[in-house]
Amino acid sequence: NSYRTVYAFAREMHPKTVKTDIQYGTAGFRTKATNLGYVMYRMGLLAVLRARYKRGVIGVMITASHNPEPDNGVKLVDPKGEMLDQSWEKWATKFANVGDDQLEETINEIIKEYDIPMTDRVEIVVGKDTRPSSPSLAKSVMDGVLALAGKPIDYGIVTTPQLHYFVVCKNTNRQYGEPTEDGYYKKLTGAFKKLRGETYTNGNYKNRLLYDGANGVGAKKIKYFQELLGNTLKIEMFNDAIIGSGKLNYMCGADYVKSQQKFPTGVPVEPNVRCCSVDGDADRLIYYYMDENNGFHLMDGDRMATLIAGYLKEVLEETGIDLNLGLVQTAYANGASTDYIAKKLQVPVACVSTGVKHLHHKALDYDIGVYFEANGHGTIIFSTNAKEKLREAAKNNTISDERRLAAEALLNLIDLINETVGDAISDMLLIETILHAKGWDIQQWEDAYTDLPNRLMKVTVQDRNVITTTDAERVCVTPEGLQAEIDSAAAKYKKGRSFVRPSGTEDVVRVYAEAATREEADELAVEVAKKVH
Ligand code: NG1
Ligand code: ZN
């Protein structure tokens, strides 16, 4: 086999312009957009190979999420809507880094290793965020797809979770939904309206929400929800600057709000009013409000996870069906949230390494698996067993109305949830549904537990990979002795907890610390950071 066109295309249209290697990390490739043309072309090639190997549709999403506007990135989506399987990440890295003249050879190597049939006319769905660099990068991806005779399907500007949804719809023969934007909006808003019923407000819950679109795709797409939901939920949108303004994620968006612990610019401050922010590709969500004394209150991924898990537990009990429910977090979850879930809600909690793929994977162990990163990325997945039992119960005339209705409600919740990946807008509709059902305002939600003050720091070192960890990154293995030092530092503070790990997306070591007071958390973080240097 020979793939001359691949080389010719590469040489003439997408030559490798950067000498240094890049690595397919937790969020795919991510760097300055100007350095990504050839990487995109090669990911187009790899997507076709992966699709032929899996005999399914593969997705390619062009985005750099919460990162600044001049950055961009790319991630591949597997047929079940999951991130590219870890075993192929090394191939992605290899494809990105070989010379143009080694591309043919690399393609032959992977075909041989996996015995890939090279005849199927596979579909590759391509989506992009609103970055000015995205259209030309999408074209590079599609050139790669065409060079290996795959069929690119261009979805244009979409959110990351929309792209995951399209991939799953196509691979399940539309059982999951229609693989169109319209199909996505109708599925989510239809379920939301059913759950809300005739009364839009309830108790302290008011159907008004301030929404920060981060000047990105989340602002563009919320308009369809505003239109379809009307007065059911009054979403007031802010931060919808025109494409190319440079304002994407700038002093707004979910990452800014969570990491700066600050109210975003562009959203009016109204005391005690519920607000939310999404990030640049709308797969993360953060809630917050300002109190009457200008005090800022943050409701992060841990808060959403606990609200959701607690509610699902209640409804599940009403159905009388025996299904196991579990919650998955990472080491970054606030200790107070873990305590609350395990002790108060009595829902089993698992801790896994940072990165959505690890959370998603672990959540598959439960009939109902809730997972969230503290930064606001998360979703809920339901096993086939859970879905079957719920469908049976919803149709069963021999059980009580209460049980039947609870099963129906859970089925509607499943339709509201984007099970394929964390989806800011779907998560927002879910949170709104739960607050409405409980008749709660945002303060009542916040009352569940009090966050332990915490501090996240970045430390730049010569080689971040000298730090290795175990036990879901909570324990440091190398350099030898570092863990003992962290332990003795943390022991000095009330409720002290700290860990260090190399970042998977930036060339830094991250230091996390929490303790009973703000001062102690800061001190502990600084102390541990000094030991890392
Ligand atoms: P790294 O850079 O590996 O810490 C960051 C986030 C993750 C995840 C990924 C992918 C923190 C501490 N880490 O990973 O949660 O979202 O980016 O975007 O927020
Ligand atoms: Zn994102």
Contact 379, 419 (CB under 8 A): yes
- Same topology, domains 4-157 and 183-299? Answer is yes
- The ligand whose atoms approach the alpha carbon of 354 most closely is 1
* Half-sphere exposure of residue 268: CA atoms within 13 angstroms, side-chain side: 6
- SS3 category, 341: helix
Cα distances (angstroms) measured from residue 365 to each of 168, 188, 309, 348, 398: 20, 25, 15, 12, 31
Give the closest residue (by CA) to ligand 1 atom 13: 354
**Ligand 1 binding pocket mutation candidate from 360, 457, 503 (most atoms within 8 A of CB):** 503
- Identity of the residue numbered 247: K
CA angle at residue 141 from 137 to 146, to 5 degrees? 140
- Residue 275 burial (C-beta neighbours within 10 Å; 0-12, 13-18, 19+): buried
Give domain 454-532's CATH architecture: 2-Layer Sandwich (3.30)
Q: Which residue has the tokens 């966050």?
A: 451
pLDDT the model gives residue 201: 97
Which residues contact ligand 1 via a Cβ below 6 A?
26-27, 65, 332, 354, 373, 375, 377, 503-506, 510
Check whether 505 is labelled as a binding-site residue.
yes
Mean pLDDT of successive 10-residue segments in the chain (533 residues)?
80 93 91 96 98 98 97 97 95 97 96 95 97 98 96 98 98 95 98 96 98 98 97 98 96 96 97 98 98 97 97 97 97 96 96 94 97 97 97 96 97 96 98 98 96 94 94 94 96 97 91 97 97 90
Please tell me the distance between residue 27's alpha carbon and the centre of ligand 1 in angstroms.
8
pLDDT the model gives residue 1: 53
Cis peptide before 268 (omega within 30 of 0): no
Please tell me the distance between residue 232's alpha carbon and the centre of ligand 1 in angstroms.
34
pLDDT the model gives residue 507: 87
User: Quick one: which H or E segment has residue 523?
Assistant: helix 518-532
Pick the CATH number of 301-423 from 3.40.120.10, 3.30.70.120, 3.30.390.50, 1.10.1380.10: 3.40.120.10
Give domain 4-157's CATH architecture: 3-Layer(aba) Sandwich (3.40)
- CATH code at 183-299: 3.40.120.10
Check whether 502 is labelled as a binding-site residue.
yes
- The ligand whose atoms approach the alpha carbon of 160 most closely is 2
Residue boundaries of the structural domains of the chain = 4-157, 183-299, 301-423, 454-532
Check whether 239 is labelled as a binding-site residue.
no
Contact 58, 93 (CB under 8 A): no
Give the closest residue (by CA) to ligand 1 atom 19: 375
List, in sequence order, every residue forming a beta bridge with 68; answer none if it has no partner: none
How far is the C-alpha of 336 from the C-alpha of 23, rounded, in Å? 35
Contact 124, 147 (CB under 8 A): no
Contact 515, 524 (CB under 8 A): yes
Give the closest residue (by CA) to ligand 1 atom 8: 355
- The ligand whose atoms approach the alpha carbon of 424 most closely is 2
